[in-house]
């Protein structure tokens, strides 16, 4: 049965993702069908959570890339002979992507595959006699609606990336055309509203283990309304605010802000009261680790005192020009590291302290081993101590007989990086080899209560309640300082850019920046480091060439024809 199910899943993948067809004809052998295969609660739960493993993959890699690299906080600069990648990284930074780009194709097919996997499981579980397995009709209703919520999640992400999606509620539909933006929005809304009353709330002290709770449904519906204006042209901030306030008031379960900044991201974040929905992670099992190779220098394993072979790619966009002056006088967006207050506990150098304890979340400045020995470079700084800088430029090409006579002549662009270029984010703690069993013990937060606070704050700000908005943001900010917050949000200093700064600081690297910029109409209209305004049609990605080739009923997005 396991092999049959895998074959069926692969058929879903092939048809949905490669040819645009969603028809699934399962060939059940020896009368092993859903009605007879499920023998226990364990069998049911194993089937239920299979689509959630796809969600784990979906939360990173290409989907993260489409949210962060075209925005103002992250980049993969070309570092000498490394990372030009056929110009892919520059295309996304400069908003020059095409329907043939792999990140776009991977996201389109991954979105529809998620829907298909959830539908496949839903159709199986609908046929199961739950009472015969000592389960209740309420259990069945909750399971089916968890899958409906997962389907809504994937369709909502597709709406965010591409606009209207090809909607299907059965795996027996061939080559469906795209529905409109509004139809996709309405479909997602209906699935979530129907599920809201049918999924139980998490109880006090219950660990977050990946299942979708009542609060997660409410939070996803709030997200839908929060970004509705970008999706359909109709603002729904009032509806988002109502749901956010209800979540904060614990109508959907006992959630509260974590007392520490690291609680929602730490090794034991499954017990954090702030986590509303997360994807479990464990060493050698559903590891939340896709970023490790992309983010860190080849020799950073010596700093972590662990093993691995990182690729030295992703870094924060720079806050400083080659001459050391700040970009903040030039651009209102970007400069993510400099947006953190110096007293912010998160701004410290990342250091693992042992016993699941750590501090800071950046690799910046001198790169040292745990014993304090300098870590040496292997490219431009071969055999020299590495120092990670908040700048992008070819400093090794300055001097007598070299390319540039002085630092003042240095350009700072996507093509001008070196091996120590850019500050690196360590949002997921990495233990040393002594605690290797704790590696990747931190789950991947999908929704946390801080997001609900910030959504409600933005809704209040848009409604003219600056003081109410400031109070909500400061409730989150205060945990980031040993003493008093040196720069709290006030009604006087809160404007649209400060609001975006607060989103960018709290949720740095959590795969949402593009959506936030679009909601404020900044994604295609603003300037940041090595990026100038682009065309409005780029708020949506194109439908991939491979998708249209396999399903000629799919219409391309405007501007990409």
pLDDT digits (tens, 9 = 90+) for 298-350: 999 999 999 999 999 999 999 999 999 999 999 999 999 999 999 999 999 99
| Residue 336 lies inside a defined structural domain of this protein | yes
Classify each residue of 49-84 as buried b or exposed e, where b means 16 or more C-beta atoms within 10 Å of its C-beta. Answer: bbbbebbbbbbbbbbbbbbbbbbbbbbbbbbeebbb
Structural domain total, the chain: 2
Q: Which is it for the CA torsion 67, 394, 528, 556, positive or negative? A: negative
- DSSP-derived letter for residue 380 is T
Contact, 449 vs 416, CB < 8 A?
Answer: no
pLDDT digits (tens, 9 = 90+) for 492-519: 999 999 999 999 999 999 999 999 999 9
Of 439, 459, 475, the last residue of a domain is 439
Position 285 scores a pLDDT of 85
Burial of 136 (0-12, 13-18, 19+ CB in 10 A): exposed
Of 439, 467, 496, the last residue of a domain is 439
Burial of 413 (0-12, 13-18, 19+ CB in 10 A): middle
| pLDDT above 70: residue 26 | no
* Tokens read off for 154: 């994937």
Same domain flag for 552 and 433: no
109: closest CA among 19, 25, 173, 188?
19
| Residue 18 lies inside a defined structural domain of this protein | yes
| pLDDT above 60: residue 12 | no
| Residue 399 lies inside a defined structural domain of this protein | yes
Position 33 scores a pLDDT of 52
- Count of C-beta atoms within a 10 Å radius of residue 323: 13
pLDDT digits (tens, 9 = 90+) for 137-179: 999 999 999 999 999 999 999 999 999 999 999 998 888 999 9
Position 28 scores a pLDDT of 38
Structural domain harbouring 105: 1-76+90-199+545-561
**pTM score, whole prediction:** 0.94
Same domain flag for 31 and 149: yes
* Tokens read off for 129: 């006699």
- Tell me the backbone φ, ψ of residue 326, rounded to 5 degrees: -85, 145
Same domain flag for 154 and 56: yes
Contact, 393 vs 411, CB < 8 A?
Answer: yes
Q: Which is it for the CA torsion 109, 111, 115, 117, positive or negative? A: positive
Same domain flag for 33 and 134: yes
- DSSP-derived letter for residue 102 is H
Counting residues of the chain whose pLDDT is more than 90, the rounded percentage is: 91
pLDDT digits (tens, 9 = 90+) for 388-414: 999 999 999 999 999 999 999 999 999
* Tokens read off for 547: 């998708």
Gap between the Cα atoms of 369 and 426, Å rounded: 16
Gap between the Cα atoms of 111 and 415, Å rounded: 32
- Tell me the backbone φ, ψ of residue 305, rounded to 5 degrees: 60, 55
Gap between the Cα atoms of 480 and 533, Å rounded: 33
Residue 178 CA to its chain's centroid (Å):
25
Residues 6+ apart with CB under 8 A from 561: none
The CATH number linked to 21 is 1.25.40.390
Residue 251 CA: distances (Å) to CA of 196, 212, 219, 296, 334: 12, 16, 12, 41, 37
Same domain flag for 313 and 195: no
Q: How confident is the model at residue 536 (pLDDT cuts 50, 70, 90)?
A: very high
Of 439, 465, 489, the last residue of a domain is 439
Position 16 scores a pLDDT of 45
503: closest CA among 253, 226, 292, 216?
226
Using DSSP, state whether 232 is helix, strand or coil.
Answer: helix
- Count of C-beta atoms within a 10 Å radius of residue 560: 15
Gap between the Cα atoms of 6 and 19, Å rounded: 19
| pLDDT above 80: residue 15 | no
| Residue 104 lies inside a defined structural domain of this protein | yes
Look over the chain and give the mean of its residue pLDDT values, rounded to a whole number.
93
Gap between the Cα atoms of 9 and 28, Å rounded: 13
| 223-233: average pLDDT | 98
Pairing of strands 365-366, 315-316: unpaired
Gap between the Cα atoms of 248 and 90, Å rounded: 41
| Residue 275 lies inside a defined structural domain of this protein | no
| Residue 529 lies inside a defined structural domain of this protein | no
Same domain flag for 170 and 58: yes
Gap between the Cα atoms of 407 and 429, Å rounded: 36
Same domain flag for 432 and 559: no
- Count of C-beta atoms within a 10 Å radius of residue 406: 10
Q: How confident is the model at residue 2 (pLDDT cuts 50, 70, 90)?
A: very low
* Tokens read off for 282: 């464990």
| Residue 33 lies inside a defined structural domain of this protein | yes
| Residue 530 lies inside a defined structural domain of this protein | no
The DSSP bridge partners found for residue 444 are 279
Contact, 252 vs 234, CB < 8 A?
Answer: no
| pLDDT above 70: residue 34 | no
Same domain flag for 160 and 296: no
* Tokens read off for 38: 């499920």
Same domain flag for 144 and 37: yes
Position 493 scores a pLDDT of 98
DSSP for 21-37, written as a single string: ---------TT--HHHH
Pairing of strands 362-363, 424-425: antiparallel
């Amino acid at each position: 049965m396991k092999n049959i199910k895998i074959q069926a899943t692969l058929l879903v993948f092939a048809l949905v993702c490669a040819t645009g067809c969603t028809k699934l004809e399962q060939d059940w052998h020896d009368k092993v069908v859903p009605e007879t295969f499920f023998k226990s609660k364990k069998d049911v739960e194993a089937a239920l959570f299979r689509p959630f493993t796809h969600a784990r993959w979906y939360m990173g890699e290409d989907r993260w890339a489409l949210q962060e690299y075209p925005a103002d906080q992250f980049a993969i600069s070309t570092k000498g002979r490394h990372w030009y990648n056929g110009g892919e990284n520059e295309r996304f930074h400069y908003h020059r992507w095409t329907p043939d780009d792999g990140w776009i194709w991977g996201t389109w097919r991954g979105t529809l595959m998620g829907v298909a996997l959830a539908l496949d499981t839903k159709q199986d579980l609908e046929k199961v006699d739950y009472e015969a397995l000592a389960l209740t009709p309420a259990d069945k209703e909750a399971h089916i609606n968890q899958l409906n919520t997962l389907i809504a999640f994937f369709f909502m992400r597709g709406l965010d990336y591409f606009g209207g999606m090809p909607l299907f509620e059965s795996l027996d539909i061939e080559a469906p055309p795209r529905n409109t933006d509004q139809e996709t929005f309405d479909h997602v809304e209906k699935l979530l509203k129907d599920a809201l009353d049918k999924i139980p709330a998490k109880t006090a002290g219950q660990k977050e283990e990946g299942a979708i709770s009542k609060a997660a449904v409410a939070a996803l519906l709030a997200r839908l309304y929060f970004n509705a204006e970008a999706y359909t042209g109709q603002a729904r901030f009032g509806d988002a605010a109502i749901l956010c306030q209800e979540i904060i008031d614990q109508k959907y379960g006992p959630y509260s802000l974590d007392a520490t900044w690291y609680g929602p991201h730490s090794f034991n974040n499954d017990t954090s009261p702030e986590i509303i929905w997360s994807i479990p992670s464990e060493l050698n099992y559903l590891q939340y680790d896709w970023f490790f190779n992309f983010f860190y220098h080849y020799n950073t394993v010596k700093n972590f005192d662990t093993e691995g072979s990182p690729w030295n790619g992703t870094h924060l966009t720079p806050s400083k020009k080659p001459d050391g002056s700040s970009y903040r006088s030039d651009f209102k967006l970007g400069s993510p590291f400099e947006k953190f207050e110096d007293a912010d506990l998160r701004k410290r150098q990342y250091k693992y302290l042992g016993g699941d304890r750590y501090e800071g979340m950046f690799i910046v400045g001198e790169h040292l081993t745990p014993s304090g020995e300098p870590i040496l470079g292997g490219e431009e700084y071969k055999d020299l101590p590495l120092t990670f800088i908040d700048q992008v430029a070819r400093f090794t090409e300055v001097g007598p007989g070299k390319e540039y006579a002085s630092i003042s002549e240095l350009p700072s662009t996507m093509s001008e990086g070196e091996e120590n270029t850019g500050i690196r984010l360590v949002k997921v703690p990495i233990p040393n080899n002594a605690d290797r069993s704790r590696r990747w013990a931190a789950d991947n937060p999908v929704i946390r209560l801080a997001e609900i606070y910030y959504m409600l704050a933005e809704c209040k700000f848009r409604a003219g309640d600056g003081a109410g908005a400031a109070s909500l943001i400061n409730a989150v900010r205060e945990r980031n300082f040993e003493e008093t917050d040196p720069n709290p949000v006030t009604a006087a200093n809160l404007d649209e850019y400060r609001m975006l700064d607060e989103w960018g600081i709290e949720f740095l690297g959590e795969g949402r920046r593009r959506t936030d910029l679009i909601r404020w109409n900044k994604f295609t209209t603003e300037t940041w480091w090595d990026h100038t305004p682009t065309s409005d049609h780029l708020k949506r990605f194109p439908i991939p060439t491979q998708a249209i080739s396999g399903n000629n009923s799919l219409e391309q997005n405007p501007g990409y024809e």
